[in-house]
Structure 1
Amino acid sequence: MGRHREFDADKVLDAAMRVFWSKGYEGTSYADLVAAAGVERPALYAAFGNKETLFLKALARYDERYLGYIPEAIRRPTARDVAAHMFFKSVELNTRFPEHRGCLGLNGALAGSDDAEPIRQALIAFRVAGQEKLRERFEQAKADGDLPRTARSDVLAAFVMTTTQGLAVQAKSGLSRDMLDLVAEQALAAWPIGPPSPPSGSGPVHRRRRT
């Protein structure tokens, strides 16, 4: 019979997630992971596989524990509320932990070696999936009259993702939460507004003819 593991796998995975969050994929060594987890390298390999597999498991844990604000945003009543929730909640998350500011996914997706290409592609797919959900939500907003008919749902989805990524990069570089919130407000100032709804119970609005 095999020996029982002498460590808590969930705690080890959380420790690995925090290291990847702080240093990115390529900036993290197996020595870093071993030191953070407090587990010998062979045991870490046996439990989680190689570094690439461990990162993908850490990314899934990050998504599960910290990115709940994204489906929350999708459920917001207006398209502008969706964008606002994405912006301000991402700022809150990206500045919450001084020891690992920014976004785990973005920190790991930036330029790397050829060996890290599978990770980069996995993170691109992760981002594209989120962007597609936003595009679908904004298409619904157009159908509901919440966005102008001329609005490009794909462009708005890319705008939201690009803004949240920019906020994460600036958070990683040390920009304060107050300033990031102001940047988010500035981004929302460019949000397209749908046609106003007529007053309840009223018919078509006619302009008074000048005499």
Structure 2
Amino acid sequence: MARHKEFDRDWALDAAIGVFSQHGYEGSSTDALLTAMKISRQSMYDTFGDKRSLYLQALKRYNTDSVLRIIADTQHGQRPLEALEAALIAFASRPPSEASRGCLGVSAICEFGRTDADVSSLTDSAATTLGKAIGSLLDEARRTGQLAPEIDPEAATQFLGATLSGMKVSARNGASPEVLRNIASLAIRSLR
């Protein structure tokens, strides 16, 4: 009879996300990953494959969860720009312990740039999904007169994506929630 896994795959993947977020791919040793995941080397290989495969699964999961969380946070605003501000403020208001852990998506871009096709594919997919959600809200803001007429929604989508990435880096560097909220508010005010 086959032996059943004695660990929670999702919990172990979350633990790997924590290690990779804190130390990057190169800075995360297999031993550190195994310790955090509380699994044996063989269990890691059987369930996730090698370190690279584990990293790609962690990045995919992190990006999906992160984008869905940001999109869900847009539901807290009644008008389009308020919805976008709500998402940025929600990010800014996360506990410092969570924010200081770092964004695995931004870390992947900084560590790999465009040198790894698999990493680029995952980060591009997340950026496209988030960009479509932001772009849709900006198009609605344009239709309802909330977006300044001289602002191009496509350029504003890129601007807000870059703002969010910058906020993530600032949070990792210890920026306070108040500083991050001010950045979020200023970014939205610039679109009116």
TM-score (norm 2): 0.83
User: Which residue of 2 is the match for residue 97 of structure 1?
Assistant: 98
The SS at the match of 2:146 is coil
Q: Deviations over 1:167-206 (max 9, x none)?
A: 10011112222222222233233122xxxxxxxxxxxxxx
Verify the 8 A CA contact 1:92 1:177 in the aligned structure 2: yes
Specify the alignment match of 2:40 in structure 1: 40
Equivalence for 2:161: 161
The range that moved more, 82-91 or 109-118, is 109-118
| Per-residue CA distance 1:55-77 (angstroms, 9 max, x = gap) | 33323443565554422344433
**In structure 2, do the counterparts of structure 1 residues 150 and 101 end up closer, same or farther at CA, with 3 Å as the change threshold?**
same
Displacement of 1:138 in angstroms is 1.2
Q: Which has the larger radius of gyration?
A: 1
Percentage of matched positions with identical amino acids: 26
Paired residues in the alignment total 191
Q: Deviations over 1:137-177 (max 9, x none)?
A: 21122223332444311111111111111010011112222
CA contact (8 A) 1:86 1:164 kept: no
CA RMSD of aligned residues (A): 2.6
Q: TM-score, normalised by structure 1?
A: 0.77
- Give the residue type in structure 1 aligned to 2:45: Y
Structure-2 residue corresponding to 1:17: 17
- TM superposition shift of 1:94: 7.2
Q: Deviations over 1:9-64 (max 9, x none)?
A: 22211211211221223332222211111211121111112333323332344356
For 1:139 and 1:74, the matched residues in 2 are separated by 14
| Distance in 1 between residues matched to 2:113 and 2:40, nearest whole Å | 27
Map of 1:80 onto structure 2: 81
Which residue type is aligned with residue 144 of structure 1? T
1:49 aligned onto 2:49: yes
C-alpha separation between the residues in 2 aligned to 1:74 and 1:182? Answer: 18
Q: Judge which range, 36-45 or 116-125, deviates more.
A: 116-125
CA distance in 2, matches of 1:113, 1:179: 27
Q: CA deviation at 1:131?
A: 1.1
- Matched-pair contact (CA < 8 Å) for 1:138–1:157: yes
| Residue of structure 2 in register with 1:119 after alignment | 119
- Equivalence for 2:108: 108
Matched, 1:26 2:26: yes
Check the 8 A contact 2:147/2:191 in 1, yes or no. no
Greater helix content: 2
Change (3 A) 1:147 1:88: same
How far apart in 2 are the matches of 1:137 and 1:19? 34
